[in-house]
Structure 1
Amino acid sequence: MTEAIMSQLCLYYIPEPETDRWIKGDRFLRPMVRRIIRGKQKPGGINKVFINLCKGLDLLNVSYTVNLPFYKLKSTDQVGILGRGKTCLHGYNNKNSIVAGIGLMTHPSEWPDLCEQYPVVKYLQHSEWANNIYKPYFGNRCELWPVGIDTQYWKPKNNPIFYDVLIYNKIMWNYADTEESLLKPIRSYLTKAGLKYTEIRYGNYSSEVYRQVIHQSKSLIFLCEHESQGIAYNEALSTGIPILAWDQGWCLDPNRLKWGQPDIPATSVPFFDERCGMKFKNLYEFSVKFNDFWEKVKLASFAPRDYILENLTLEKCAKRYIDIINEVNL
């Protein structure tokens, strides 16, 4: 009797390798210098997606391997690949169907023949607006999949409140002008209103520091041009903190001109409803809407954690990932 071949879930997270920049061999030196200057490296966006996916699979008791050498894959194995850049698939000569993404590229024009080069049957994006960018290139291979939030780590606490407002500053482009036209007037508005606020800037904090300051704050003003998911603001919602989000409506990445897509509809809060808080498009709308937002904050009228528990837990999102994997391997 022939023994059945068991399949396994094989996940890959392979970031782009360091390359020499100034002198031969400095690719080995630069990471050490960065560690000395900046301290321990903080997980980036794609890295955090992979970490949270693995946490969700662990909670579901789903077994998986990580970065199994391609030559060791069995024909029945299920393959999911996250990463950055074309190097993440170098050496893949297998016939196993691949669920790819998120994060292999910034824009599909950077790798338009991905699905011809490799047996990619699904390409994942977190949210609808980002998925719409990929559809003209990858067609019905495009699939929505948001990653889960660790709701046990990011949960409410009865800490003393020191700040009325936490400003989360993730302004990415044209920073000087946006600071003058939006951020500084918001700071001034809060000061004139007699509200105590603090500010945190993307990339300059650890998860522990972010969680601590969230627990010390009543509300959050989220300033970012657009997000495909926005894990940081999802984490704030998970702690129960309501958000007033700048949502101006368009992709402002200057590379959009190079991509040949100057007008891309986008949002900064793709996972959001009336339980989470409110949105504003510009400084005028901020001044019109803030008082209403603040009154609802004081009355505890929002329920942001309920939204996360309903839509974005580690288990639910990991289960959706498994469903996608199973669908393509039927």
Structure 2
Amino acid sequence: MDKPINIFYSEPDPDRWFKYDRYPRKLIRRLVRGKQKPGGVATIAINLLKGFDRIGFPYRFNDYGYIRKHPGEIACIIGKPHLVFEKKWKNPIILGAGIYSHPIECADLFEQYPNVKRVLVPGEWMCDMFMPAYGNKVLGWPVGIDTEQWKPYDSVKTFDFLIYYKIRWQHEQMEEELVAPVTKVLDEQKVSYHFIKYGQYTHDELTEKLKVSKAVIFLCEHETQGLAYQQILATNTPILAWDRGGFWQDPHYYPDRVKYQPVSSVPYWDERCGVKFTDANDFKPKLAVFLRKINDFKPRDYILENLTLEKCAEKYLAICREVEAELA
């Protein structure tokens, strides 16, 4: 596969009150809120294209006119899945990694859309969750991290830890059972810290707080890929990560519709990245281990080996070549 790859991405933005009102609503949102920060799925598309740029591989982006005239070429639909459902594709499709959270949302995907040849999800535990429904057509594929944008800071570290708070559900319970005990231990041991909260910061704010932090405590129930913590690792900042495992906790599915385990908050990880703890009781001993080894961690090396823009773009191309060979 040396000819340009065909990439498609868009966010769903349906009409709400009257036909075509999505256009003035979009303009008003832009005027009121300013330029929108890319979400996780948008970042997947952006970083994949950056990866193709880095390795010098050509692509077309959202060229619907071209793809309609070339029904034999693969349409790589990064997300979201409404693009598959709303358009009459004749092309073979690679769908993902920006798709729905569980296959029960479209259990008959391959019957309705037999031209979908692969479904990509961001990580291996999610792949394992999808596999009973989708079989070997589902693959785990992570998008790359921009290691030129996220790189080590030559700065004075005035805090021992930045606590990255990404707890999604049961906030009061988690405050009592996890956050308060963790900060109590830090206070008792005279370990300094400050906070940043997911969804409430800009790129510059995260950068400024990382610059003055020796390490990060990452608090999140589970991640499918975890772009933020991987960006942190790319700055060579080690992480003490809450990784309780257990069931996938999304209340839209759990416990009534789906019970799947185990999950992870740091699905891409090895011992160079830091240390994991399971709960408040496990935090104090793991903090001691972490502080003892803090100068030995090499988290950026892990990212450079596994999750660069270039490496992940190459992995995506390998999937495309595999599908192309099956179609030949």
TM-score normalised over the length of structure 1: 0.91
Within 2, Cα distance between the matches of 1:66 and 1:165? 40
User: Which residue of the partner structure matches residue 44 of structure 1?
Assistant: 39
C-alpha displacement of 1:81: 0.3
User: Which residue of the partner structure matches residue 124 of structure 2?
Assistant: 128
User: Which residue of the partner structure matches residue 314 of structure 2?
Assistant: 319
The equivalent position to 2:278 in structure 1, one of 261, 276, 281, is 281
Match for 2:44: what amino acid? V
- Check conservation: 1:16, 1:83, Cα contact below 8 A: no
Greater shift after overlay, 27-36 or 253-262? 27-36
Superposed CA deviations along residues 32-73 of structure 1, whole A, max 9, x for unmatched, are: 565455443111110111111000000011111111116634
The equivalent position to 2:257 in structure 1, one of 241, 256, 260, is 260
C-alpha displacement of 1:304: 0.5
- Check conservation: 1:9, 1:63, Cα contact below 8 A: yes
Name the count of aligned residue pairs.
320
Superposed CA deviations along residues 65-92 of structure 1, whole A, max 9, x for unmatched, are: 1111166341442321021243444223
User: Which residue of the partner structure matches residue 86 of structure 1?
Assistant: 82
C-alpha displacement of 1:208: 2.2
Match for 1:135: what amino acid? M
Rate the CA distance shift 1:256–1:163 in 2: closer, same or farther, 3 A: same
TM-score normalised over the length of structure 2: 0.91
User: Which residue of the partner structure matches residue 236 of structure 1?
Assistant: 232
Match for 2:314: what amino acid? K
- Check conservation: 1:7, 1:76, Cα contact below 8 A: no
Q: Are residue 8 (structure 1) and residue 4 (structure 2) matched?
A: yes
C-alpha displacement of 1:146: 0.9
Within 1, Cα distance between the matches of 2:231 and 2:191? 23
Unaligned runs of 5+ in 2: none
Q: Are residue 272 (structure 1) and residue 272 (structure 2) matched?
A: no
What secondary structure sits across from 1:179 in the alignment?
helix
Within 2, Cα distance between the matches of 1:31 and 1:303? 43
C-alpha displacement of 1:292: 1.5
Match for 1:237: what amino acid? L
Rate the CA distance shift 1:258–1:110 in 2: closer, same or farther, 3 A: farther
Within 1, Cα distance between the matches of 2:256 and 2:102? 8
- Check conservation: 1:16, 1:88, Cα contact below 8 A: no
- Check conservation: 1:52, 1:148, Cα contact below 8 A: yes
- Check conservation: 2:97, 2:121, Cα contact below 8 A: yes
Within 1, Cα distance between the matches of 2:10 and 2:35? 19
User: Which residue of the partner structure matches residue 183 of structure 1?
Assistant: 179
Identity percentage over the alignment? 40
Within 2, Cα distance between the matches of 1:259 and 1:120? 29
- Check conservation: 2:44, 2:98, Cα contact below 8 A: no
What secondary structure sits across from 2:261 in the alignment?
coil
Unaligned runs of 5+ in 1: 1-5
User: Which residue of the partner structure matches residue 153 of structure 1?
Assistant: 149
Within 2, Cα distance between the matches of 1:220 and 1:11? 35
Where does structure 1 differ by over 3 angstroms across 4 or more consecutive aligned residues? 23-39, 70-73
